[in-house]
Amino acid sequence: MTFQPEALPAALRRQFPLLGRTVHGQPLHYLDNAATSQMPQSVLDAIANHETTARANVLRSVHFLAEAASAAYEESRAECARYLGAGVPEEVVFTSGCTGAINLVAHSFGDGRGPGDGRGPGDGLGPGDEVLISELEHHSNIVPWQMLRQRRGIVLKALPVTDDGRLDLTHLPRLVGDRCRLVALTHASNVTGAVTDVASVVAAARAVGAKVLLDGAQYAAHGPLDLPALGVDFYAFSGHKTFGPNGVGVLWARGEILADMPPFLGGGEMIRRVTIEATTYAEPPHRFEAGTPPIAQAVGLGAALRWIRGLDQAAVQAHLAALTRRLLDGLAALDRGRGLIRVIGPGDLAARLPVVSFTVTGAHPHDICQILDRHGVALRGGHHCAQPLMDRFGITGTTRASLACYNDAGDIDALLAGLEDAMARLRVGTGASGLSNP
């Protein structure tokens, strides 16, 4: 669909019933999209339609409803593949979310011992093999690798972050050596909004034969991808950040890698033949989907990706860039040169998502968010599951506004007005509060 820029948010907002509600008597200004985005009516309808016309388990029974459910489930897999530019639905594994997808890789690729000849990508990592992450990562792309380190004795290295919240890729030559087996990085930061220069990462990894995993939790909502062109090996994202439901996510991986990887979880659906003595496993993707999958959620995710693909991406990106600029300029104006408001992330619009994190000297993020909630403004405060990044900047947390295509200038202005109120109530900059906040 194509919109004139000024009509874009109004036309989109009408598709999101939740955005019409009030909070504390105020219009809702939902700016926590990096945590969870809202679902358009078409996604809600797709889920409701599935649950009321085709609810059944998938890939098991032969009755009418089971056939309909299986068809809907596999069509959603195909939609995911189209969205990712993959083209091969079998490379799409449904998971519980982005965290589940990364953990799947940490176990199946990390622990390995796949069905291949022992020399393939499913052979697993061993003592001394290296995995490169970064200080910019969400805990979901840190902890699974620390756990793998405990299991397998790998070496975990971390790429530093620049002062403006970007990956410092100048360290790639130093950190990607002959023992590097995997580079696992965020595609875009959930705190700073910085988008990773994937080409540089892939080039460094390929030079030593390492695989590349991208955590696409934040980036995936911002338009269809072309993963083969990106050159990565694994891509993970979640449904609830891509205008879809909770409880579902996707791991995409190259077919030859998936084929050589052992399963992560065991149970129904992921088998070829089970005896008391042993089990042989199904082909991907079902090898990695033990038990009843999140069927309606997968259907909803397919509808959400279809909805995103229908947007005028250029118009959406221009709209979000303008709102981000408005927010950054508004924060600077509010600060009035006092140096109280500090943006943790790029101050420009180059290669960044509409995610803006900031600190306010003398005011805690949770106190700010609590006061803004009374203005109807939904923000996130805290460490954003990125404590190493907080340590990097010497802070405990930030206040974060994360925008989606349905946000408008009114949302930004409400945030800025609420923040001005919060700073006044918390006596920021008066020297009178004496609070010891970060």
Structure tokens at 323: 């709102």
**Are the beta carbons of 401 and 327 closer than 8 angstroms?**
yes
In the complex, minimum distance from the CB of residue 183 to other proteins, in angstroms, rounded to a whole number: 27
Distance CA 36, CA 33 (A): 5
Question: Measured from the CB atom, is 170 or 370 closer to other proteins?
Answer: 370
Distance CA 162, CA 81 (A): 34
Phi and psi at residue 121, to the nearest 5°: -65, -15
Q: Which residue has the tokens 């052992």?
A: 262
Structure tokens at 280: 């042989």
The set of residues, in sequence order, having a beta carbon less than 8 Å from that of 32 and lying 6+ positions away, is: 378, 379, 380, 400, 402
Question: Measured from the CB atom, is 162 or 396 closer to other proteins?
Answer: 396
**Are the beta carbons of 316 and 6 closer than 8 angstroms?**
no
Q: Are strands 29-30 and 92-95 parallel, antiparallel or unpaired?
A: unpaired
In the complex, minimum distance from the CB of residue 224 to other proteins, in angstroms, rounded to a whole number: 35
How many Cβ atoms are within 10 Å of 117's Cβ, its own excluded? Answer: 9
Distance CA 188, CA 167 (A): 10
Rg value, the chain, Cα? 23
Q: Bridge-partner residues for 401, per DSSP?
A: 356
Question: Measured from the CB atom, is 100 or 397 closer to other proteins?
Answer: 397
Q: What angle do CA 237, 68, 281 make, to 5 degrees?
A: 60
- Kindly name the residue from 180, 369, 385, 405 that is annotated as catalytic: 385
CA nearest 72: which of 90, 47, 100, 95?
47
Question: Measured from the CB atom, is 352 or 364 closer to other proteins?
Answer: 364
In the complex, minimum distance from the CB of residue 423 to other proteins, in angstroms, rounded to a whole number: 12
Which residues form the interface with other proteins (CB under 8 A)?
Answer: 24, 364-367, 370-371, 373-374, 381-383, 387, 390, 396-397, 425-427, 432-438
Phi and psi at residue 257, to the nearest 5°: -75, -50
In the complex, minimum distance from the CB of residue 101 to other proteins, in angstroms, rounded to a whole number: 23
Question: Measured from the CB atom, is 209 or 434 closer to other proteins?
Answer: 434
The DSSP result for 62-100, as a single string, is -SHHHHHHHHHHHHHHHHHHHHHT---GGGEEEESSHHH
Distance CA 15, CA 5 (A): 17
Assess whether 180 carries a catalytic annotation.
no
Question: Measured from the CB atom, is 29 or 326 closer to other proteins?
Answer: 29
Structure tokens at 148: 């793998």
Question: Measured from the CB atom, is 15 or 36 closer to other proteins?
Answer: 36
Question: Measured from the CB atom, is 44 or 423 closer to other proteins?
Answer: 423
Distance CA 169, CA 159 (A): 7
Q: What angle do CA 128, 130, 131 make, to 5 degrees?
A: 150
The set of residues, in sequence order, having a beta carbon less than 8 Å from that of 82 and lying 6+ positions away, is: 224, 305, 309
Q: Which residues are catalytic?
A: 385
